[in-house]
């Protein structure tokens, strides 16, 4: 608050000087006396300071209201996306024990898109980076398809335990495996990156990956490091030729730049972008 007040005082001082100067000029031209300059100087300064401070207060109030309105609109948009997704996911969410809204690794509309792709492609093997409600949805879809296995990787041991508990409640233990994989420094080419310490045996047992869901690790706020970039370099050799890579949070700059890097390194990948709440990018190797 001190800075706007200081600016108002400075603005008032300058305005007072201008008013006083104009009055002094009038005196020199014979339109008044020097004694009249001081009241004009003070009056102009006070009025200018008050007007400037009022203007700043109004602008600040408008900015606050605009920010609040923007946040509410974004919240409504997310809620509508979740509701839209839940309607489409009705057959797979009725028994979900995780709370809807706030408990999703994916927003509802993105989860619905993931479900559509899993139903259409009927993948034999799915690798998921970041467990959550999507794990349970995918597990139920694989059970409906009558085939397929899902390996879900999570760096957060407590969250992985929670997901495993829900997997058990839904009777998906024969389809879904949730593996703890803490984030460790690993060599990727000539650089060191922080990535999941995935047990090699887990990937080998899963086999060739038909669907890769990239929804982790978390992207640190304000960081330029693309936390999820290593997914394709590390797992490229384990992907089947017809594999689909599902990238969540694709509206973020970090994910957009990540996809650009992937395409620059291998131009065989084709992309499809979807305007869900957080954005989705699908990558597949086309002809």
Q: Which of 25-29, 147-151, 240-244 has the lowest mean pLDDT?
A: 25-29
**Phi, psi torsion values for 36, nearest 5 degrees:** -75, -15
Residue with the larger pLDDT of the pair 101 and 24 = 24
Residue with the larger pLDDT of the pair 250 and 7 = 250
Residue 25 has pLDDT above 60, yes or no: no
pLDDT in tens, 186-238: 999 889 999 999 998 999 999 999 999 999 999 887 788 899 999 999 999 99
Q: What pLDDT is recorded for position 91? A: 65
220 within a domain of the structure (yes/no): yes
Please check whether residues 123 and 234 belong to one and the same domain. Answer: yes
Q: What distance in Å separates the CA atoms of residue 163 and residue 130, rounded to the nearest whole number?
A: 10
Only one residue has tokens 């495993």, namely: 164
The parent domain of residue 7 ranges over 2-80
Closest to 252 in 3D by CA, of 230, 271, 224? 224
Whole-structure pTM over 0.75, yes or no? no
* Residue where a domain terminates, one of 80, 109, 134: 80
The total number of structural domains that make up the chain: 2
Please check whether residues 15 and 101 belong to one and the same domain. Answer: no
CATH of the domain at 187: 3.40.50.150
Provide DSSP, 68-93: HHHHHHHHHHHHHHHHHHHHHTHHHH
pLDDT in tens, 141-184: 999 999 999 999 999 999 999 999 999 999 999 999 999 999 99
Please check whether residues 119 and 154 belong to one and the same domain. Answer: yes
Helix (H) or strand (E) holding 192: strand 191-196
Please check whether residues 26 and 100 belong to one and the same domain. Answer: no
Please check whether residues 102 and 74 belong to one and the same domain. Answer: no
Please check whether residues 70 and 117 belong to one and the same domain. Answer: no
Please check whether residues 76 and 109 belong to one and the same domain. Answer: no
């Amino acid at each position: 608050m001190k800075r706007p007040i200081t600016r108002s005082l400075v603005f008032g001082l300058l305005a007072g000087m201008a008013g006083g100067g104009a009055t002094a000029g009038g005196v020199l031209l014979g339109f008044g006396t020097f004694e009249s300059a001081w009241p004009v100087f003070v009056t102009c300064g006070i009025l200018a300071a008050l007007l400037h401070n009022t203007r700043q207060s109004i602008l600040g109030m408008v900015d606050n209201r605009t920010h609040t309105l923007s946040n509410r609109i974004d919240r409504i948009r997310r809620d509508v996306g979740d509701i839209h997704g839940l309607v489409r996911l009705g057959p797979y969410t009725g028994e979900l024990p995780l709370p809807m809204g706030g408990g999703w690794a994916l927003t509802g509309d993105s989860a619905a898109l993931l479900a559509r792709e899993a139903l259409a492609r009927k993948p034999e093997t799915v690798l998921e980076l970041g467990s959550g409600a999507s794990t349970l949805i995918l597990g139920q879809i694989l059970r409906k398809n009558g085939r397929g296995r899902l390996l879900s990787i999570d760096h957060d041991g407590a969250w992985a335990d929670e997901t495993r508990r829900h997997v058990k409640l839904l009777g998906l233990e024969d389809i879904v495996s949730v593996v703890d994989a803490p984030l460790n420094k690993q060599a990727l080419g000539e650089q060191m990156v922080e990535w999941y310490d995935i047990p090699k045996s887990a990937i080998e047992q899963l086999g060739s990956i038909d669907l890769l869901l990239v929804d982790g690790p978390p992207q640190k706020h304000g960081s330029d490091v693309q936390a999820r970039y290593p997914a394709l370099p590390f797992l490229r050799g384990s992907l089947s030729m017809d594999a689909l890579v599902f990238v969540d949070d694709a509206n973020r700059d970090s994910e957009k730049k990540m996809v650009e890097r992937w395409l620059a390194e291998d131009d065989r990948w084709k992309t499809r972008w979807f305007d869900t709440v957080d954005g989705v990018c699908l990558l597949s190797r086309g002809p």
